[in-house]
Chains A and B, each alone.
Chain A
Amino acid sequence: MDRENEQLEQFYRETAPALLAYFRHQPALAGAAEDLLQDTFVRALKHRDRLETAVSRRAYLFGIARHVGLDALRQAEPVGVPADSQIAPVAGEDGRLESMRAAIAELPPPQREALLLKLQQELSYEEIAGVLDIPVGTVRSRLHYAVLRLRQVLNPPIAYED
């Protein structure tokens, strides 16, 4: 039992900061990030056997976190587009970063969600598919469209000939 608790403590230490960041990166959920993190773990521990037998425990936990976030959004008041999602003027490196942030914020939500799971959480395509409950092919196409869109926003298209 102590060993189990130790493992759980270890797992919590490893994943809790990433989950907290996941919630805090979503403007509508940032204020309640700690509560949502707690809800995520409470739900995960309710069905601990499923957590133990999951192919990727990290992906399983992010799947729960996503549902917890969606539930919270459903219960919350509708939130307007945050001011920082507006495209800022380009000026040097900081300007490019700001533009990129704005471009990411402008992405369609399914593409943005997949991109954030990939870039922030470093999940594999298969893990993202598990989190979002969609086929791996859909994950790939969402990520590809997202990258292409970002590239179009920041760089003019380059003509390529075989």
Chain B
Amino acid sequence: MKTETLETLLIDRALGALSPEVAELLESHLIQNPDAVRHAESVESTVRLARTAVAGAPVSTGHPPPLDRVRKTLRVRRRQAFATELSRLAACLLLGLTIGLIGRPGGSPAGAPGVSTAVARPVIASDAANGAGGRNGFWSLANFAPGKPEQSAAGVRQDSRYRLHWDSPVKMPHLEENL
């Protein structure tokens, strides 16, 4: 048997971790080898001394606190965790409510001056007839009537040879010749 193997088995035996079958084989080996017996005694005495040193270490273990104290602590911690979750939920609700109140059209929390909100101005009939969105306006359908010459911005020549062709928002616009 190799020294390393023997040492491994001896330490396992000293620590009480050797199976009975292997222990029996080891015993039979030790009977035939007095040197191995000395080695075994050395390991055994080391572990025995270590066990005594550890067990007899000057430490007062005292009495553990009663289990009720543990239970009480557990209850308190659970309650604290629940309260924390509840306060988080309340904070979320409050935040949502505040944002909702501020974002409401024409609405700001009472007594909160200076909060401006964007409100769409309703189109008045007279405006619609004449104004920007009306019959003469830029977006008026009349401007796109067939046969009507293209409206151009002030300063742009009417007889321009090229025009900007942009038939799709996903394609780059390009210049094409005015035919």
- Enumerate chain A interface residues (CB-CB to B < 8 A): 8-9, 12, 16-17, 19-21, 24-25, 30, 34, 37-38, 41-42, 45-46, 96-97, 100-101, 104, 115-116, 118-120, 124-125, 140, 143-144, 147-148, 150-151, 154-155, 158, 160-162
Q: Interface size bucket, B side? A: 35 or more
| Main SS class of interface, B | helix
User: Do B62 and A20 have beta carbons less than 8 Å apart?
Assistant: yes
Which residue from chain A places its CB closest to the CB of B17 in the assembled complex? A125
Which residue from chain A places its CB closest to the CB of B77 in the assembled complex? A42
User: Do A119 and B51 have beta carbons less than 8 Å apart?
Assistant: yes
User: Do A30 and B59 have beta carbons less than 8 Å apart?
Assistant: yes
User: Do A160 and B6 have beta carbons less than 8 Å apart?
Assistant: yes
Which residue from chain B places its CB closest to the CB of A11 in the assembled complex? B67
User: Do A120 and B54 have beta carbons less than 8 Å apart?
Assistant: yes
Q: Does B49 contact A (CB under 8 A)?
A: yes
A154's contact among B12, B15, B46, B77, by CB below 8 Å, is which?
B46
Which residue from chain B places its CB closest to the CB of A157 in the assembled complex? B42
Given contacts A97-B56, A161-B35, 11 further A-B contacts (CB under 8 A): A16-B64, A20-B62, A21-B59, A34-B65, A38-B73, A45-B70, A119-B55, A140-B8, A148-B7, A158-B35, A162-B1
Write the nearest CB–CB distance from A144 to chain B, whole angstroms.
5
User: Do A150 and B54 have beta carbons less than 8 Å apart?
Assistant: no
User: Do A158 and B53 have beta carbons less than 8 Å apart?
Assistant: no
A37-B65, A100-B50 known; A162+B3 contact, CB < 8 A: yes
User: Do B35 and A144 have beta carbons less than 8 Å apart?
Assistant: no
| Main SS class of interface, A | helix
Q: How far is the CA of A148 from the CA of B39 in the complex (A)?
A: 12
User: Do A147 and B15 have beta carbons less than 8 Å apart?
Assistant: yes
Write the nearest CB–CB distance from A26 to chain B, whole angstroms.
10
Q: Does B132 contact A (CB under 8 A)?
A: no
What are 28 A-B contacts with C-beta separation under 8 Å?
Answer: A8-B67, A12-B70, A17-B63, A20-B61, A24-B59, A24-B60, A25-B57, A30-B59, A38-B69, A38-B73, A45-B71, A100-B50, A115-B54, A116-B54, A120-B55, A143-B15, A147-B11, A147-B15, A147-B47, A151-B42, A155-B42, A155-B46, A158-B38, A158-B39, A160-B6, A160-B35, A162-B2, A162-B3
Which residue from chain B places its CB closest to the CB of A118 in the assembled complex? B15
A147's contact among B1, B14, B60, B73, by CB below 8 Å, is which?
B14
In the bound complex, residues from chain B placing their C-beta under 8 Å from that of A12 are 64, 67, 70
Q: How far is the CA of A100 from the CA of B43 in the complex (A)?
A: 14
User: Do B64 and A17 have beta carbons less than 8 Å apart?
Assistant: yes
Q: How far is the CA of A20 from the CA of B60 in the complex (A)?
A: 9
Q: How far is the CA of A78 from the CA of B144 in the complex (A)?
A: 82
B61's contact among A21, A38, A42, A154, by CB below 8 Å, is which?
A21
Q: How far is the CA of A30 from the CA of B58 in the complex (A)?
A: 12
A24-B60, A118-B15, A162-B3 known; A150+B70 contact, CB < 8 A: no
